[in-house]
Amino acid sequence: MPFSFAKESVQVAEFASSLAKKFDAKIHLVGYKDADEWLARDIKTNEVVVRRHLAELGIEYELVSIPSGSDYEAGLLEYAKEIDADLIAAAYFSHGIKDLFHQFIQEMIENKHGIPVLTVNAVEVMAINSGYSFITV
Helix axis angle for 37-57 and 8-23, nearest 10°, is 30
Rounded Cα distance, 68 and 64, in Å: 12
Of the chain, the end-to-end C-alpha distance in Å amounts to 15
Q: Collapsing DSSP states into helix, strand and coil, what is residue 134?
A: strand
Domains in the chain: ranges and CATH: 8-136 (3.40.50.620)
Q: Is the pLDDT of residue 101 over 70?
A: no
Identify which has the larger pLDDT, 135 or 4. Answer: 4
pLDDT tens readout for residues 15-25: 888 889 999 99
Helix axis angle for 72-82 and 98-109, nearest 10°, is 20
Q: Give the DSSP letter of residue 43.
A: H
pLDDT tens readout for residues 34-73: 677 777 777 788 788 888 889 999 999 998 888 766 788 8
Q: Is the pLDDT of residue 104 over 70?
A: yes
The whole-number pLDDT of residue 98 equals 47
Rounded to 10 degrees, the C-alpha dihedral 58/29/136/98 comes to 140
Q: Which amino acid is at 101?
A: F
Q: Is the pLDDT of residue 4 over 80?
A: no
